[in-house]
Structure 1
Amino acid sequence: MTLLAIPFPMIDPVLLSLGPIQIHWYAIAYIVGILLAWFYTKRLAARQQLWPGNESPLSAAALDDFVFWATIGIILGGRLGYVLFYNLDAYLQHPMQILALWTGGMSFHGGFLGVTLAMILFARAKSISLLSMFDLVAMAAPIGLFFGRIANFINSELWGLPTSLPWGVVFPNGGPEPRHPSQLYEAALEGLLLFIILRVLSHWTGALKKPGTVAGLFAILYAIFRSLVELVRVPDSQLGYFSLGTTMGMWLSAPMILAGLAMIIHAQLKRSDG
């Protein structure tokens, strides 16, 4: 073991125990992420000058209604995505474990699909511009990603390959070797950096006036950042590596790049036609 290894900060995954009730950091991360994203989208929606025709696509009241739809999409989509994409055989043998959300096991790609479906249904029900709604939610998504990855780190899960780099972390369930803190890499790239890029794009270039541009870029950059971290992240043991050293995360991210490109091209063509 290298002398430069960083010991894992022993943070109890359970924040608070009240008799049989346990409050986990994992749950707190989701709650904080959703609440901050809700606050941020309301601030963005109030900036009328950012949107097409200087008119926000959603009112504050509509966003208050949508946060419930989004929460359901995140939780159901994230859990079902993990069950279907990552560990279907195990959950078929123990189906009640599907409900044990506090043990971890959420898929971003499943949550992404769940929220996308929620946005489609909500936009149709409320006669809202779907592409602008995609843009608005994409602006806030890095907030939830940041807190989710921090929770992964606290849970000592989804760690990386062994490394000799000075910031390698010795995880309590990862053996004696220092490992890439891949959860923190993702928090930095998918959370902080992606948030900054989208903020600059929307506020300095007027990208929100071309509906679909911001959401398309979010999809592309998330897929790229996720795939890069997958190079140093240990894949789920029940799946391992696929052909050419690829992982499930890479395969699920690839369609996001295509969808993102399609949205950006559509946004630019629509703009030029108008």
Structure 2
Amino acid sequence: MPFPNIHPIAFSIGPVDIRWYALGYLFGVLLGAAYGWLLLRNERLWHRGTPPFKANDIWDFAFWAMLAIVIGGRTGYVLFYNFSEYAQDPIQVFNTLDGGMSYHGGMIGLMLAAILFTRSKGGNWLSALDLMGAVATIGIFLVRIANFINSELYGAPTDLPWGVVFPTDPLQVARHPSQLYEAAMEGLLLFLIIRVATHVFYALRKPGLVAGIFGIGYGVSRILVELVRLPDIQIGYLYGGWLTMGMVLSLPMVVAGLGLVIFALTRPENKLRP
């Protein structure tokens, strides 16, 4: 299947090019904040009817979130994926034009920002992590679509009918559109699962449960996609030629997610109705 004719630059304002990748992050935060506002307004969803902070505060947090995602994502990429190169030329850490961002680093940054922001408001930081788990899938979906448009992070060669020939591939062979797999699994499917959990089973009434579901869902999805996604070229495969850095970083998310789910379901306080 040929690659769709979509240019990585969405539009230009004078000499400034606005890329789909940047718009994915921007609208991921804005739409996530809008959905978070709706969740925060619905107090009956939360433990004892108390969300982590007021609904209107989400717009202040959106600024924190954008900074945390960019700083955390860049820091994670430098530390996890390309440390030796940046150690030789540290000034390149600030050159974000190379597109180097780590999802796991961005998520750590977002979690820290949520905890600090919520503590400043006197709220429950576990509920804040639940909120992040409920809204983060929106940004994941949009950014993975942008990865596809950028013709980056594609998968291994495939004979499947939906294989895509990416213009940046030097071999010009059909490959797994692993970006779309991630958009579907880590974004759309996980959003729907968490939506059912929050609105049918009232999972937000048990602080930590939604965050745990997100950790398990994202971690498992990412590990599965990594089986067909090509590893970063500067790292390659690890330990026997099949393990990737994405798998290594996702496994702790699954373990932490399981721990949060068990904690949320067994904590006596969470068994009480709000």
On whether the aligned pair clears a TM of 0.5, the verdict is yes
1:165-200: CA deviation from partner (whole Å, max 9, x where unpaired): 000000012122100000000000000000000000
Q: 2:185 is matched with which residue?
A: 189
> C-alpha distance in 1, partners of 2:98/2:6?
15
Distance in structure 2 (CA, Å) of the matches to 1:268 and 1:197: 17
Show the counterpart of 1:213: 209
1:123 Cα deviation after fit: 2.0
1:199 corresponds to 2:195: yes
- What is the correspondence of 1:80-99 to structure 2 with a 5 Å cutoff? 80-99=75-94
**Correspondence for 2:251:** 254
Deviations 1:71-121 (A, max 9, x none): 111110011101111112222344343333343221110001101111221
Asked if 1 retains the 8 angstrom alpha-carbon contact of 2:153 and 2:230, the reply is yes
Aligned partners of 2:165 and 2:175 also within 8 Å? yes
What amino acid does structure 2 have at the position aligned with 1:251?
Answer: V
Supply the RMSD in Å over aligned alpha carbons.
Answer: 1.4
Q: Equivalent residue for 1:225?
A: 221
> Following the alignment from structure 1 to structure 2, what is the Cα–Cα distance between the partners of residues 135 and 111?
16
Task: Report if aligned partners of 1:77, 1:113 keep a CA contact under 8 Å in 2.
Answer: yes
- Residue ranges of structure 2 left out of the alignment (5+ in a row): none
1:242 aligned to 2:238? yes
The counterpart of 1:50, out of the listed 42, 45, 54, is: 45
Q: For the structure 1 residues 229 and 35, does the alpha-carbon distance in structure 2 shift closer, same or farther, using more than 3 Å as the test?
A: same
Which position in structure 1 is the counterpart of 2:54? 59
Moved more, 80-89 or 141-150: 80-89
Cα contact 1:132–1:212 (8 A) shared by 2: yes
**What is residue 26 of structure 1 aligned with on the other side?**
21
Percent sequence identity over matched residues?
A: 53
Structure 1 window deviating more from structure 2 (92-101 vs 190-199): it is 92-101
Contact 2:115 2:129 in 1 (8 A): no
Does the C-alpha gap of structure 1 residues 185 and 100 become closer, same or farther in structure 2, counting only changes over 3 Å?
Answer: same
Write the deviation string for residues 149-169 of structure 1: whole angstroms up to 9, x where unpaired. 011001110000000000000
Task: Give the paired residue count.
Answer: 269
Structure 1: 5+ residue stretches without partners: 1-5
Amino acid at match of 2:5: M
What letter corresponds to residue 247 of structure 1 in structure 2?
A: T
- TM-score norm. by structure 2 comes to 0.94
C-alpha distance in 2 between matches for 1:186 and 1:243:
24
Amino acid at match of 1:9: P
2:148 to 150, 153, 178: 153
From 176, 184, 208, the counterpart of 2:172: 176
Q: CA deviation at 1:25?
A: 1.0
Separation in 1, partners of 2:229, 2:197 = 29
What is the Cα deviation at residue 211 of structure 1?
0.6
What is the identity, as a one-letter code, of the residue corresponding to 1:226? R
The match for 1:112 among 104, 107, 111 is: 107
